[in-house]
Protein backbone atom coordinates (compact mmCIF):
# COMPACT_ATOMS: atom_id res chain seq x y z
CA UNK A 1 0.00 0.00 0.00
CA UNK A 2 0.99 3.59 -0.51
CA UNK A 3 1.33 5.97 2.37
CA UNK A 4 -0.34 9.33 1.97
CA UNK A 5 -0.05 12.29 4.23
CA UNK A 6 -2.56 15.13 4.51
CA UNK A 7 -0.75 17.23 1.88
CA UNK A 8 -1.09 14.50 -0.75
CA UNK A 9 -4.86 14.54 -0.40
CA UNK A 10 -5.45 18.15 -1.30
CA UNK A 11 -9.19 18.27 -1.88
CA UNK A 12 -10.77 21.62 -2.67
CA UNK A 13 -12.34 23.14 0.40
CA UNK A 14 -15.61 25.05 0.50
CA UNK A 15 -13.54 28.20 0.67
CA UNK A 16 -12.11 27.42 -2.77
CA UNK A 17 -15.62 27.70 -4.18
CA UNK A 18 -16.56 30.95 -2.45
CA UNK A 19 -16.77 34.25 -4.26
CA UNK A 20 -14.05 36.76 -3.35
CA UNK A 21 -14.13 39.97 -5.36
CA UNK A 22 -10.54 40.75 -4.33
CA UNK A 23 -9.33 37.60 -6.09
CA UNK A 24 -10.90 38.39 -9.47
CA UNK A 25 -8.77 38.95 -12.53
CA UNK A 26 -8.92 42.47 -13.97
CA UNK A 27 -11.07 41.16 -16.82
CA UNK A 28 -13.57 39.49 -14.47
CA UNK A 29 -13.65 42.58 -12.24
CA UNK A 30 -14.53 44.75 -15.24
CA UNK A 31 -17.26 42.32 -16.36
CA UNK A 32 -18.69 42.21 -12.85
CA UNK A 33 -19.02 45.97 -12.65
CA UNK A 34 -20.26 46.22 -16.23
CA UNK A 35 -23.25 43.91 -15.59
CA UNK A 36 -23.92 44.65 -11.91
CA UNK A 37 -25.98 47.85 -12.48
CA UNK A 38 -28.27 46.00 -14.91
CA UNK A 39 -28.75 43.15 -12.44
CA UNK A 40 -29.38 45.62 -9.59
CA UNK A 41 -32.14 47.30 -11.62
CA UNK A 42 -33.85 44.02 -12.44
CA UNK A 43 -33.57 42.69 -8.88
CA UNK A 44 -34.40 45.95 -7.08
CA UNK A 45 -37.66 44.56 -5.67
CA UNK A 46 -35.99 41.47 -4.20
CA UNK A 47 -34.21 40.98 -0.88
CA UNK A 48 -30.86 39.99 -2.44
CA UNK A 49 -27.95 42.14 -1.29
CA UNK A 50 -25.07 43.34 -3.45
CA UNK A 51 -22.81 40.43 -2.45
CA UNK A 52 -25.49 37.95 -3.59
CA UNK A 53 -25.79 39.75 -6.93
CA UNK A 54 -22.04 39.79 -7.49
CA UNK A 55 -21.66 36.16 -6.47
CA UNK A 56 -24.44 35.09 -8.81
CA UNK A 57 -22.97 37.02 -11.74
CA UNK A 58 -19.57 35.46 -11.14
CA UNK A 59 -20.78 31.87 -10.85
CA UNK A 60 -23.08 32.31 -13.86
CA UNK A 61 -20.17 33.54 -15.98
CA UNK A 62 -21.57 37.11 -16.03
CA UNK A 63 -24.81 35.96 -17.69
CA UNK A 64 -27.43 38.40 -16.39
CA UNK A 65 -30.39 36.22 -17.47
CA UNK A 66 -29.05 33.16 -15.67
CA UNK A 67 -28.32 35.27 -12.59
CA UNK A 68 -31.85 36.72 -12.56
CA UNK A 69 -33.35 33.25 -12.82
CA UNK A 70 -31.17 31.93 -9.99
CA UNK A 71 -31.72 34.90 -7.70
CA UNK A 72 -35.50 35.02 -8.21
CA UNK A 73 -35.66 31.38 -7.16
CA UNK A 74 -33.61 32.09 -4.01
CA UNK A 75 -34.99 35.42 -2.81
CA UNK A 76 -38.45 36.81 -2.18
CA UNK A 77 -39.71 40.21 -3.14
CA UNK A 78 -38.93 42.76 -0.48
CA UNK A 79 -41.77 43.33 1.96
CA UNK A 80 -40.81 47.01 2.08
CA UNK A 81 -41.40 47.38 -1.66
CA UNK A 82 -44.72 45.57 -1.39
CA UNK A 83 -45.69 47.94 1.43
CA UNK A 84 -44.84 50.98 -0.69
CA UNK A 85 -46.80 49.63 -3.65
CA UNK A 86 -49.85 48.98 -1.49
CA UNK A 87 -49.79 52.60 -0.29
CA UNK A 88 -49.89 53.86 -3.88
CA UNK A 89 -53.13 52.06 -4.67
Task: Quote the pLDDT of residue 7.
Answer: 58
- Checking if the pLDDT of 83 tops 80, the result is no
Q: Is 89 in a helix, a strand, or coil? A: coil
Q: Please, what is the average pLDDT of the chain?
A: 85
9 CB burial (10 A radius; 0-12, 13-18, 19+) = exposed
Model confidence over 30-64: pLDDT tens digits? 999 999 999 999 999 999 999 999 999 999 999 99
Domain positions in the chain are: 24-88
Which string of DSSP letters, residue by residue, matches 23-69?
Answer: G--HHHHHHHHHHHHHHHHHTTTB---HHHHHHHHHHTTT-HHHHHH
Amino acid sequence: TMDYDEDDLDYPSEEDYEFHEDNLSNEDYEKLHKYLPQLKDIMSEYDADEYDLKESLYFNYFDVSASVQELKSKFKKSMYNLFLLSRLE
